[in-house]
Amino acid sequence: MHRFAFLFAFALVVAACDSADPISDPTPLPVQTATDVEADPVTSTGDGPPASTGRYTLYDLDENRIVLSSSEEDPDVRAQDSTSTAWDIGFSGTTIVLNGGTSGPGETVAQILTEAFANVTEAPAGGYVADGENECPAVETPGGTFPGRPLAVCTGSGNGWYGYSSDTNLIVPIPGRTIVLRTTGGDYAKLRILSYYRGNPAEPGTTESRYYTFEYVLQADGSRDFTSTEN
């Protein structure tokens, strides 16, 4: 009798295990790339030196697409898109803004880590700031020294994502710096600027500037893990 009861209980356990949902394997997160995202490239008016417009290109990381290009001139379109939460990050020249704080209606925040992109496997739990909340160093330019704008990603050579060489007159991403963001929707992303020049050339030379190529990983399940997501 006892032996029968044991076999019956064992059969129930096996049946329960067989009927349970199979455990899904983690899915590696893809590295997405954005190429030649224009950032208000300078244009010549014919009457003087090339000039920028001060407009931003706004980018949606979830959809890996441009929401608003700096080439869009219609003020109504620009006002509608720039005041929406459809974008996460914006580019104009070497300046990067986020959709939050003083730059937008969203809640996107970020920080720069002095760690290689591939080595950032988890987003930090804290340390994020919105545009308007940061303390940025002064910006040194050939025309003088200017106070740093309180952006989450500071501008100026050596202050944020890039360095400038007066010898080569080139803007070059600083190795080992990774931007980590928390979007308005609560998702985490890590991002690395690869190039500031059109076509991402190995040697920019006279290549057009103000065209970003960057790569990023977006974790859409709300966790801080950049390695995988559960199916």
Summarize pLDDT for 58-96 with one digit per residue, the tens: 999 999 999 999 999 999 999 999 999 999 999 999 999
Residue 207's pLDDT is: 86
Place of tokens 């080992």: 176
Summarize pLDDT for 172-206 with one digit per residue, the tens: 999 999 999 999 999 999 999 999 999 999 888 77
Residue 141's pLDDT is: 77
**How far is CA 141 from its chain centroid?**
25
Q: Is residue 122 part of a domain?
A: yes
d(Cα 130, Cα 121) in Å, to the nearest integer?
A: 22
Residue 146's pLDDT is: 87
Going by pLDDT thresholds of 50, 70 and 90, the confidence category of residue 6 is very low
Summarize pLDDT for 93-148 with one digit per residue, the tens: 999 999 999 999 999 999 999 999 999 999 999 999 999 999 999 988 777 888 99
Confirm if 124 and 111 have CB atoms less than 8 A apart.
yes
Q: Is residue 9 part of a domain?
A: no
Flag whether pLDDT at 19 surpasses 70. Answer: no
Q: Is residue 161 part of a domain?
A: yes
Report the percent of the chain where pLDDT is more than 90: 72
Conformation bin of residue 154: beta by default, left when phi > 0, alpha when psi is -120 to 50: beta
Q: Is residue 3 part of a domain?
A: no
- Closest by CA to 108, choosing from 184, 171, 161, 166, is 184
Q: Which long-range contacts (CB under 8 A, 24 or more apart) does 77-84 make?
A: 82/56, 82/58
Give the residue numbers spanning the domain of 44: 23-229
For the chain, the straight-line distance linking the first and the last C-alpha, in angstroms and rounded, comes to: 45
Residues 6+ apart with CB under 8 A from 43: 50, 51
Query: Number of folded domains in the chain?
Result: 1
Going by pLDDT thresholds of 50, 70 and 90, the confidence category of residue 166 is confident
Q: What is the pTM of this model?
A: 0.85
Summarize pLDDT for 36-49 with one digit per residue, the tens: 999 999 865 555 55
Residue 231's pLDDT is: 54
What is the average pLDDT value for the chain, to the nearest integer? 88
Q: Is residue 184 part of a domain?
A: yes
Q: Is residue 137 part of a domain?
A: yes
Q: Is residue 5 part of a domain?
A: no
Q: Is residue 2 part of a domain?
A: no
